[in-house]
Structure 1
Amino acid sequence: MSRYEIAFSGRIVPGAQLDSVKANLARLFQADAQRIELLFSGRRMVIKNNLDEAAAEKYRSVIERAGAVVEVVDMDAPIEEIELAPPPAEAPEQHRTASAATPGRLQVAPRDEYMAAFADVEALDFGLAPVGTDLQDDKPEAQAPRVDLSQFSLAPVGSDMGQAKAASAGPAPDTSHLKLVD
């Protein structure tokens, strides 16, 4: 009996609106916006695993109705093995003449099949600086900007700088005709 997993990579059904798909998935998974944004990060996320075929199909259809495209993967499927080609055979004389022909360069020798792809790379021969050496270039001294201030002048101490004067309140109202009665 095969087991399946449901994986999501952020793809949505053609014609669906991204905001509505996010809202549908938030409602479906009962998740907050932060978790839904994590689903749409572009990375492949396994939503559910160890499902039988019927349950995997049910998950796929429900999530597809919400507007998202998921991948149903058979977890029991055999993994395809890829065999790398052996590195090209190179005579030791050629190796010595190649590095002798280009002084100041190192020839990279492959340590395994993966590194065989880099067998023909010529790398610069960088040395190591002594401990405590400053490797950063000197920065030029910063110069003060030249600003023309000739258009400005100073006002004498205590002078009015143009603030708006408060409007006078006007004369006090005449209250002589008013009386208090017991």
Structure 2
Amino acid sequence: MGRYEIAFSGQLVAGARMELVQANLARLFQADAQRIATLFSGRRVILKNNLDEASAEKYRATLERAGALVDVVPMEPVIEEVELAPPPEPDPEPARPVASGVSTAMPPRLQVVPRDEYMAAFAGVDAPDFGIAPVGADLQDAKPEVQPPGFDFSALSVAPVGSDMGQARTPAAGPPPDTSHLKLEERR
């Protein structure tokens, strides 16, 4: 089910007069003269979008009767097919040097298989395959136990509740100012 948009570029139906078409569109869209003037600026203007085929045809016919020639354009994006190059062949795993007659293979390496052209750039990456830890495994490295610092608090003591700890007392507030000489008069 396709979706369509209605586009107008200022073209008129053959034989239509510009003033009459502008008046018809102003009445149809209930728009002022300034908005109608922008429709006839020569630029492509989308009048309506996201319509089904029947609605798009109805809009086209209505606008054509008003004298405006519109384009009904499908909205589906054009999907371009891209053929990917085959991924390069992975190198065989190199063996570590022989130590005391026993050959040890290197740890497993990550093999990247490209899923699209962007991932193809990482096909030659040589990285260790770390894998996935089982469910419930502790992934954080073990931390050494922290020893508390060796402070000596034996010379300190706590004062009893309610005792004076030597805080400075706030001085008593001075006497209030004398306002007996002030008078309030009523003004009219």
Asked if Structure 1 and Structure 2 have the same fold, meaning a TM-score greater than 0.5 normalized by the shorter chain, the answer is: no
Name the TM-score, length of structure 2 as normaliser.
0.42
User: Which structure: larger Rg?
Assistant: 2
The structure that is helix-richer by fraction is 1
Name the TM-score, length of structure 1 as normaliser.
0.43
